[in-house]
Amino acid sequence: MTHAWVPRAPCDDRCVRAESARVWRATVRCLLIAVLLPVLPLVAVPHPGRERTVQLYCRAFLRCMGVRITKSGGPIRNVPGVLVVSPHISWVDALVIYALISGTFVAKAEVTRSPGLGLITRVMNVIPIDRAKLRRLPDVVDTVAARLRAGQTVVAFPEGTTWCGLAQGPFRPAMFQAAIDASRPVQPLRLSYHHRDGSPSTVPAFVGDDTLGRSMLRVLSARSTVAHVHVEALQLPGEHRHDLASRCQQAVRGAAAPSQEHALAG
């Protein structure tokens, strides 16, 4: 059932420019991922240095999929209790951000029940949000605020749905209230995907009536996908969530500085 308040992007299959599928490439990458999957439950076990282990695991998982991460902008500061926000393009987004920042994610409840991503979301300690039940949204905001006060990093995608990456949606202000309530800063990230030659890529986009399986196959079949993360300046919470959402949205709409770009070891 579709609810009027649930964000919907105009992006659909016409936005996605997929490369010709290469079965052999997808097969090799699936075999590499199959080697990593049995290790995932061990990664979830609490131990000293677990956050670093999860980051390395996410990077290895992405490289097996043919996704490389580059980063530009300022350093990602180790500030306790920060709300991280980013544009939302794909199911790949969470893996990319988790490869850089240890924390927990706010994600739609359907993802936590997905057979393909359910275990990964449990490892990431996801905060589920049921978009069909608006009355529960204040409880989610309260949960996020409590975790921020406890010094945890929380990652949210304030567009509320995925866009193709060539087009972007407005940042909805609800989740920013958590940062204001907890008096904690917000770290905007500008996330984008590119082909190896630097041109924009919509291969990872998960939009419209796309299925998870079809989206995964596109990524696994592509020659190479570069996930670029530009780190913007921290935003102080202020007093009004609409203003905070607007400032963060404006921050992630600018142009990255190529001279600062560097590839992460994967």
Report pLDDT digits (tens) over 180-224: 999 999 999 999 999 999 999 999 999 888 888 889 999 999 988
pTM: predicted TM-score of the whole model, two decimal places = 0.87
Q: Is residue 197 included in any domain, yes or no?
A: yes
State which residues form the domain around 58: 16-254
Q: Which residues of 109-136 are buried (b: 16+ CB within 10 A; e: fewer)?
A: bebbeeeebeebbebbebbbbebeeeee
Q: Is residue 36 included in any domain, yes or no?
A: yes
Q: Above 90 in pLDDT, residue 112? A: no
Q: Is residue 165 included in any domain, yes or no?
A: yes
Q: Is residue 21 included in any domain, yes or no?
A: yes
CATH for 158: 3.40.1130
Half-sphere exposure of 155 (CA within 13 A, CB side): 24
Q: Is residue 132 included in any domain, yes or no?
A: yes
Q: Is residue 262 included in any domain, yes or no?
A: no
How many domains in the chain? 1
**Type of residue at 42:** L
